[in-house]
């Protein structure tokens, strides 16, 4: 986390304490505290946008800008977001609030902010041309409206490619009166997908093939687990703004789907599931009682969304002789070919693999990423592969080559290789939230994956103590 981002995160946590001024009247104050979950709302790995109450209006300052971030320690990305964060910081308000967002554009091109799902006047809706002029680079625009709804909403750029650069944030509206049964924990998760070829830091927003999948801007195992005390009632809000749908699956529990991008579902229509499909531009709220102690996986179940860096590293494409063909031009990258058969040996493997501009830096790669040079040389056709590691040294870690996890004749077996086993516990070990997880837990955590940790009360308290002392030490 950059200094800037942690500074903003601190500012945001201060914000919830310093800037909320009680509204007039005892009844109002009561509503303010009663309507939110006892544990408060939390979006793991994301800050909240601080606000000030000015003449009864909640005033936020939102800044669009380039954000250098990391999906995983060492995996640097130049995405676009808001206030130093990708996705942007969460805007959290109450039903009935008057909201003013002073927006400033620090991007090198025009943008606007759309308030997805909100019933507000059209000139506040953030559609460039239709309701307002685009906000030019360096420009500013003020949005102001009253929120009449409650539920899980979000804001995003209303320029499509900017959406794919990461420009989205949660907009959470708590109801006037808390929904029943009241939840103890309330989490928000933004689901995103990225096409990011090795050795590139800028996402390819034209590609239809995604190799990095994130929750709140982090890929597993860098996604920070959600901590729950045994017996608590939990709400998890999912938001998806990408090109694919995400079937989000929770292990070991059943949940009720209690909300959509349009707010609360009547209780009579709640559905019991353990996998909820979160479509593009949709939100889904799920709730469950944390009855079972354990470290429960929560992940998108699309197989390609359960991996990191999935390009030509694994699968049969890495063993055709010289690795997967890459570095074609923009047209081939988009699946447009002018001659030949789109699926022939020369073109097929390169289709959808990105802009020639940057993709010529991708190299055919061995599945033994960062592995012993001797092993790479011994693998025959792959000896033409550059000896340079694909990852910067800081991203190297133990466990890339696991003795005993492949058989001696593996190279002769049709289909080999398919999967790798790469625990990287040390890379994410400095977070109290992962304390007490089984050794090698990170081996199963990739892509759009996180954990719901239902903890016995003593372990929960211990981790909270660790968090407090860590924050105090910063
Ligand atoms: Cu998915």
Give 286 Cα–ligand 1 centroid separation in angstroms: 17
- For residue 189, give the nearest of 150, 217, 161 by alpha carbon: 217
Q: Are 49 and 91 in contact (CB under 8 A)?
A: yes
Give 308 Cα–ligand 1 centroid separation in angstroms: 12
Give 247 Cα–ligand 1 centroid separation in angstroms: 6
Q: What number of residues does the chain have?
A: 474
Give 252 Cα–ligand 1 centroid separation in angstroms: 20
Give the Cα separation of 88 and 422 in Å (integer): 30
Give me the pLDDT at residue 309, please.
Answer: 74
Buried b (16+ CB within 10 A) or exposed e, 398-412: ebbbeeeebeeeeee
The three-point CA angle 1-211-222 to 5° equals 30
Give 307 Cα–ligand 1 centroid separation in angstroms: 10
**Which of these ranges, 26-40, 150-164, 352-366, has the smallest mean pLDDT?**
352-366
Q: What is the pTM of this model?
A: 0.79
* β partners of residue 105: 64
Q: Are 248 and 297 in contact (CB under 8 A)?
A: no
Quickly state the pLDDT bin for 349 (edges 50, 70, 90): low
Give 305 Cα–ligand 1 centroid separation in angstroms: 5
More confident residue, 285 or 410: 285
Give the Cα separation of 110 and 115 in Å (integer): 17
User: What's the token pair of residue 196?
Assistant: 């990011």
pLDDT digits (tens, 9 = 90+) for 429-445: 999 999 999 999 999 99
Strands (E), 26-56: 41-42, 51-54
Give 300 Cα–ligand 1 centroid separation in angstroms: 5
What is the distance, to the nearest Å, from the Cα of residue 144 to the centroid of all Cα atoms in its chain? 28
Quickly state the pLDDT bin for 188 (edges 50, 70, 90): very high
Give 448 Cα–ligand 1 centroid separation in angstroms: 7
Give 241 Cα–ligand 1 centroid separation in angstroms: 11
Q: Are 87 and 190 in contact (CB under 8 A)?
A: yes
Give 329 Cα–ligand 1 centroid separation in angstroms: 27
Residues 217, 223, 227, 232, Cα dihedral to 10°: 60
380 in helix, strand or coil?
Answer: helix
Task: Name the percent of the chain lying above pLDDT 70.
Answer: 74
Give the Cα separation of 298 and 19 in Å (integer): 34
Give the Cα separation of 472 and 289 in Å (integer): 32
Give 162 Cα–ligand 1 centroid separation in angstroms: 20
- For residue 397, give the nearest of 428, 373, 363 by alpha carbon: 428
Query: Mean pLDDT of all residues in the chain?
Result: 81
Give me the pLDDT at residue 176, please.
Answer: 93
pLDDT digits (tens, 9 = 90+) for 214-266: 999 999 999 999 999 999 999 999 999 999 999 999 999 999 999 999 999 99
Give the Cα separation of 118 and 138 in Å (integer): 26
The three-point CA angle 282-81-128 to 5° equals 70
- For residue 239, give the nearest of 279, 280, 283, 277 by alpha carbon: 283
Query: Which of the 8 DSSP states describes residue 351?
Result: T
Give 18 Cα–ligand 1 centroid separation in angstroms: 38
Residues 365, 369, 374, 376, Cα dihedral to 10°: -20
User: What's the token pair of residue 80?
Assistant: 């676009």
Give 301 Cα–ligand 1 centroid separation in angstroms: 6
Give me the pLDDT at residue 442, please.
Answer: 95
Q: Are 182 and 174 in contact (CB under 8 A)?
A: no
Give me the pLDDT at residue 209, please.
Answer: 81
pLDDT digits (tens, 9 = 90+) for 42-78: 999 999 999 999 999 999 999 999 999 999 998 999 9
Q: Is the peptide bond before 299 cis (omega within 30 degrees of 0)?
A: no
Give 430 Cα–ligand 1 centroid separation in angstroms: 27
Quickly state the pLDDT bin for 336 (edges 50, 70, 90): low
Could you tell me the sign of the dihedral formed by the alpha carbons of 370, 373, 378, 382, in that order?
positive
What is the distance, to the nearest Å, from the Cα of residue 233 to the centroid of all Cα atoms in its chain? 23
Task: Name the percent of the chain lying above pLDDT 90.
Answer: 62
Give 341 Cα–ligand 1 centroid separation in angstroms: 30
> If you search the block for the tokens 């994956």, which residue do you land on?
449
More confident residue, 160 or 366: 160
The three-point CA angle 437-443-449 to 5° equals 80
Cα end-to-end distance, the chain, whole Å? 12
Give me the pLDDT at residue 440, please.
Answer: 95
Helices (H), 278-431: 330-333, 356-359, 373-378
Give 224 Cα–ligand 1 centroid separation in angstroms: 18
Give 73 Cα–ligand 1 centroid separation in angstroms: 22
**Which of these ranges, 76-85, 90-99, 219-228, 349-358, has the smallest mean pLDDT?**
349-358
Compute the average pLDDT of residues 405-413. Answer: 87
Q: Are 284 and 256 in contact (CB under 8 A)?
A: no
Give me the pLDDT at residue 395, please.
Answer: 38
Give 189 Cα–ligand 1 centroid separation in angstroms: 13
More confident residue, 21 or 124: 124
Give the Cα separation of 8 and 67 in Å (integer): 13
The three-point CA angle 401-405-406 to 5° equals 95
Give 86 Cα–ligand 1 centroid separation in angstroms: 18
Give 446 Cα–ligand 1 centroid separation in angstroms: 12
Give 180 Cα–ligand 1 centroid separation in angstroms: 30
Domains of the chain, by residue range, sit at 3-303
Give 242 Cα–ligand 1 centroid separation in angstroms: 10
pLDDT digits (tens, 9 = 90+) for 116-152: 999 999 999 999 999 999 999 999 999 999 999 999 9
> If you search the block for the tokens 């949005």, which residue do you land on?
143
Count CB-CB contacts under 10 A for residue 374. Answer: 8
**Which of these ranges, 91-100, 418-427, 440-449, has the smallest mean pLDDT?**
418-427
SS3 of the chain: helix, strand, coil, percent, to 5 = 20, 30, 50
Q: So what CATH class is 3-303?
A: mainly beta
């Amino acid at each position: 986390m950059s200094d800037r981002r942690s500074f903003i995160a601190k500012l945001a946590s201060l914000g919830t304490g310093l800037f909320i001024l009680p509204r007039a009247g005892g009844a109002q104050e009561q509503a303010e505290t009663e309507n939110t979950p006892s544990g408060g709302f939390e979006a793991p790995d994301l800050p909240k946008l601080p606000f000030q109450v000015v003449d009864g209006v909640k005033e936020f300052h939102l800044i669009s800008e380039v954000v250098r971030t990391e999906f995983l320690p060492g995996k640097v990305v130049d995405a676009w977001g808001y206030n130093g964060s990708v996705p942007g910081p969460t805007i959290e308000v109450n039903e009935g609030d008057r909201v003013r967002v002073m927006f400033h554009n620090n991007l090198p091109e025009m943008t606007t902010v759309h308030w997805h799902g909100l019933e507000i006047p059209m000139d506040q809706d953030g559609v460039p041309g239709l309701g307002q002029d685009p906000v030019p680079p360096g420009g500013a625009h003020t949005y102001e409206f009253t929120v009449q709804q409650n539920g899980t909403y979000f804001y995003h750029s209303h320029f499509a490619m900017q959406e794919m650069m990461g420009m989205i944030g949660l907009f959470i509206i708590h109801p006037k009166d808390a929904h029943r049964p009241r939840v103890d924990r309330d989490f928000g998760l933004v689901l995103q997908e990225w096409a990011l070829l090795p050795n590139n830091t800028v996402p390819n927003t034209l590609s239809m093939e995604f190799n990095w999948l994130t929750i709140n801007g982090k890929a597993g195992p860098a996604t920070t687990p959600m901590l729950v005390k045994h017996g608590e009632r939990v709400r998890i809000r999912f938001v998806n703004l990408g090109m694919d749908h995400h079937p989000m699956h929770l292990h070991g529990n059943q949940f009720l789907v209690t909300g959509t991008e349009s707010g609360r579902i009547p209780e009579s229509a709640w559905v019991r599931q353990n996998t909820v499909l979160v479509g593009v531009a949709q939100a889904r709220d799920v709730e469950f009682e944390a009855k079972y102690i354990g470290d429960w996986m929560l992940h998108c179940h699309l197989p390609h969304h359960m991996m990191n860096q999935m390009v030509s590293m694994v699968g049969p494409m890495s063993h055709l002789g010289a690795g997967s063909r890459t570095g074609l031009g923009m047209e081939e990258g988009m699946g447009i070919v002018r001659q030949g058969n789109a699926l022939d040996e020369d073109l097929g493997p390169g289709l959808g693999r990105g802009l020639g501009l940057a993709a010529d830096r991708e190299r055919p790669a061995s599945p033994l990423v960062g592995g012993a040079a001797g092993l790479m040389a011994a693998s025959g056709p792959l000896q033409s592969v550059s000896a340079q590691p694909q990852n910067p040294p800081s991203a190297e870690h133990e466990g890339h080559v696991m003795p005993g996890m492949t058989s001696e004749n593996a190279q002769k077996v049709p289909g080999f290789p398919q999967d790798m086993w790469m625990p990287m516990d040390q890379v994410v070990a400095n977070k109290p939230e992962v304390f007490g997880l089984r050794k090698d837990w990170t081996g199963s955590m990739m892509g759009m994956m996180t954990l719901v940790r239902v903890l016995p009360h003593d372990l929960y308290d211990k981790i909270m103590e660790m968090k407090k002392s860590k924050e105090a030490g910063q």
